Amino acid sequence: MPSIEKHADISRSRTGKDYLELHEWMDADPGKKTERHDVKRICEYGQLMKAKYGDEGLEEYVQHIYDDITARYLQGKADIMTAIQSQVAVSDLRTQLAGGEGIACSIGVPDVDLLRRSGMSEEDIAHSIQVAQKAVEIAERTGVSLDMVLVGRGGLFHDLGKAQGRGNDHGVLGAEIGRKLRLPSEIVAIMEKHVKAGMTEEEAVELGLPPKDYSAKTLEEKIVIYADKLVDIVSHPDGIVSSEAEAEGKFPEILERHPKLAKGDRPMRRLIRIHEEIQGLTKALT
């Protein structure tokens, strides 16, 4: 792997500064070197780097790990795909952290791999990532203290049941899979409740689902439901909106014009209530 001096040279070529102190912190202490290169701790250490060195220093911290991964796998002629996947993961984290996005701390690459191993299609996985990103973005615009990891992971796993079916039971199916995977009960609840924006027990029985109140109670649950519908609107094949801001700003009328998006009158009313509640808390998207 590159030496401290080599890392400093690479930083200098990219930024005009060597960030020597940062690279020494990463590599000079043998007892802490492994810990400081652990990609699972990028969120934790990344915030420290950003506070001390700013956005550029944060990028150099993540780039240091990226360069080490490249050297370890490619020069060692090990598994090329492992190297590429690791590089992509770290590169994405670098971009997200430098941009100030909370998503990097809320969604992990292992979770995406878990969706894939569970049998979700790449199209459904892409949708789930978009929902997670949108949910975290909305949560960050509220003035409320929220469990951001739950928001991000809840958005990511909300459609897990589509690995087994795409009907009204995909929330229940996802919850069953989630329990087998020992996912947190709060994430399992999001999977169950997002279908039709949180069904009543009466509606569930009408659809042949286990009798239970599936209504959304927590703000985290409601944000995932809202984000899911916003992503559906923005990605609609007919191009019904030109921006995410328009999707939020015209949310009720969009659902009224396109009732299939709401999937029923009762879900539409719930979605509009959720929209009004969340918009009352958020800063406007511009």
Q: What is the pLDDT of residues 143-176, one digit of tens each?
A: 898 998 899 899 999 999 999 998 999 999 999 9
Q: How far apart are CA 168 and CA 210, in angstroms?
A: 12
Chain Cα centroid distance, residue 69: 23
Instruction: Note whether 115 and 156 are within 8 A (CB).
Output: yes
What distance in Å separates the CA atoms of residue 109 and residue 87, rounded to the nearest whole number? 12
Distance CA 118, CA 112 (A): 10
In this prediction, residue 78 carries a pLDDT of 41
CB–CB of 103/128 below 8 Å?
no
pLDDT (tens digit per residue) in 90-141 = 445 545 554 444 444 556 667 888 898 999 998 999 899 889 889 988 998 9
Q: What pLDDT shows up at residue 249?
A: 95
CA distance 25 to 270: 51
User: 278: which 2 tokens?
Assistant: 């969340």
DSSP 118: T
Query: Does position 277 have pLDDT exceeding 70, yes or no?
Result: yes
The string of DSSP letters for 158-178 reads TTGGGGT--STTHHHHHHHHH
How does DSSP classify residue 28?
Answer: S
Superfamily of domain 109-279: Hypothetical protein af1432 (1.10.3210.10)
Reported as a pLDDT band with limits 50, 70 and 90, residue 82 is: very low
DSSP state of 142: B
Domain boundaries, the chain: 4-100, 109-279
How far does the chain reach from its first CA to its final CA, in angstroms? Answer: 44
Contact 131, 227 (CB under 8 A): yes
pLDDT for the residue numbered 55: 83
Q: What is the mean pLDDT of the chain?
A: 86
User: Hey, what amino acid is at 249?
Assistant: G
Summary count for the chain: helices (H), strands (E) = 17, 0
Decide if pLDDT at 40 tops 80: no
**Pairwise CA distance, residues 62 & 16, whole Å:** 17
286 pLDDT above the threshold of 70: no
